[in-house]
Amino acid sequence: MNDWTKVLGALGVGIPEPLLPSAGLDHGAWAVVACDQYSSEREYWERVRKNIGDKPSTLNLIFPECYLDDEDARERIEEIHRTMNLYLSEGYLKSPGKGFVLVERSTPYVPRPRLGLLALLDLEHYDFQAGSKSLIRPTEGTILSRLPPRMAIRRTAALELPHVMVLVDDQDKTLIEALYKRKEYYPRLYDFELMEGSGHVRAWFLDDEASLGLIGSALQSLADPEAFMRRQGSREPLLFAVGDGNHSLATAKAIWEEIKAGIPGTSMSESGRAALLKTHPARYALAEIVNIHDEGLPFHPIHRLLFNVDPGDFFAAAKDEGVEISQLSDAKEAFGRCDEEDPQKAHRIAWATGGRAGLLRFMKPGAKLAVGSLQDFLDRYLKKRPDCSIDYIHGSGSLLSLASRPGSLGLYCPPIDKDSFFPTIVRDGVMPRKSFSMGEAPEKRFYIEARRISYK
């Protein structure tokens, strides 16, 4: 085991010791969706709160982002930290030991289940700065202003709960799918229906030598510089590309850098300091590894929603920059046309507001992707209109519903081809922020497992 542990460590991977809800707890109430979902739909989170009642739940351990700007944010964070300690002291969380978690997630939207492997990522192998060539890299630009409130939550937290999902480019399916074929030999960790019609999830525990060897060998091959050169034309392997939870992983990295800076260098020996830096639990972040070639993994665009906007002013500003604007019969037609390739190679974005819908066509795009052309324009537009605000929406249904509200304008983005995903990141670096989503909002990762990130 030690040999494979060293191999995994060199690849930025650690073996987690997950904490799971103890026997007798209502798993359906325990698991809630990632905190960055439904960020403009408080009614979702309020309904979830009402349905859970006083049952133990990860809802009490996370900060839904729709509340981040509320005046009671500090009190909410303090309550989260108290509840983490309460759940630990009351025995609501139990660990099966050190091992990987193989996850199968089914949803009503995709025929095949999505498979994943829960593992530790070594933050020393992750760099979210522009131009990063680290083994673990972001796939979109990190907005530094979004980190402080997330850092306040993690800074003195006893636990982390992961919604981070990272992608591997495993076309031959040598890692997760190979483990899944052996699932009958692994002990079952959980198996239950998720709330709000979000599907089903089950998982198995992997701690045997054969599984560790399979994981280590597969990742070693995927990270081999020569093999990566043949696949992607670069000798600087990208092993893990952050798919979901980019800012959560960046937050973990920022807190780890704080901790490193605060570890004393004079009151302990160099060997003691080195040992602490190597073993500190905050050096790692729990994340689910997913194969980008998984048939159960859909890629969806992330749409834009403007609040307190005058559509006439928006369209006039777009026309001034050479954007062509047309109106179509309804949103269904506009969204469908947006998904088609433009014969003039223009970038298409669909719009919807107040029962009307149509297309924006960026005739001379400077960006590589349509979402990049849109975001470049929005950054300029919003800078001159401080009263107008933006949110990033997962799902065309949510976008259309929100765009029907007075003063709102929905902007629908076309899909991104996931087969070109790794080549694009390797060649061009990060994509425009909020370019893609791995599934619709109900398909996102639910909080189930937790992990200690502070010393007991």
pLDDT digit of tens for each residue in the chain (456 aa)?
458 999 999 999 999 999 999 999 999 999 999 999 998 899 999 999 999 999 999 999 999 999 998 999 999 999 999 999 999 999 999 999 999 999 999 999 999 999 999 999 999 999 998 788 999 999 887 888 889 999 999 999 999 999 999 999 999 999 999 999 999 999 999 999 999 999 999 999 999 999 999 999 999 999 999 999 998 888 899 999 999 999 999 999 999 999 988 876 556 677 777 777 888 999 999 999 999 999 999 988 899 999 999 999 999 999 999 999 999 999 999 999 999 999 999 999 999 999 999 999 999 998 888 998 999 999 999 999 999 999 998 888 889 999 999 999 999 999 888 887 898 888 878 888 788 888 888 999 999 999 999 875
Pairing of strands 389-394, 300-307: antiparallel
Q: Is the separation of the CB atoms in 96 and 119 below 8 Å?
A: no
Backbone angles phi, psi at 449, to 5 degrees: -80, 155
Q: Element (H or E) spanning 228, and its range?
A: helix 225-232
CA dihedral 28, 31, 36, 38 (to 10 degrees): 10
For the chain, give every residue range classified as CATH 3.30.1760.10: 300-415
Domain 300-415, CATH among 1.10.3470.10, 3.30.1760.10, 2.60.120.260, 2.40.30.30: 3.30.1760.10
> What are 311's two structure tokens?
């559509």
Radius of gyration in angstroms for the set of CA atoms belonging to the chain, rounded to a whole number: 22
Q: Is 12 left (phi over 0), alpha (psi -120 to 50) or beta?
A: left
3-state secondary structure of 383: helix
Half-sphere CA count of 59, side-chain side, radius 13 A: 22
Closest CA to 413 of 347, 355, 354, 356: 347
3-state secondary structure of 431: strand
Angle CA(284)–CA(95)–CA(176) in degrees, nearest 5? Answer: 60
Pairing of strands 200-206, 389-394: unpaired
Q: Is the separation of the CB atoms in 265 and 273 below 8 Å?
A: yes
Backbone angles phi, psi at 390, to 5 degrees: -130, 150
Distance (Å, rounded) from C-alpha 433 to C-alpha 430? 8
Burial letters 258-286, b for 16+ CB under 10 A, else e: ebbeeeeeeeeeeeebeebeeebbbbbbb
Write the CA distances from 127 to 133, 135, 446, integer angstroms.
8, 9, 25
- Beta-bridged to residue 14, according to DSSP, are 120
How far is it between the farthest Cα atoms of the chain?
72
Distance (Å, rounded) from C-alpha 456 to C-alpha 447? 22
Q: Is the separation of the CB atoms in 185 and 133 below 8 Å?
A: no
Q: Is the separation of the CB atoms in 398 and 103 below 8 Å?
A: no
Closest CA to 246 of 302, 293, 204, 200: 302
Per-residue pLDDT, 335: 97
Pairing of strands 165-168, 284-291: parallel
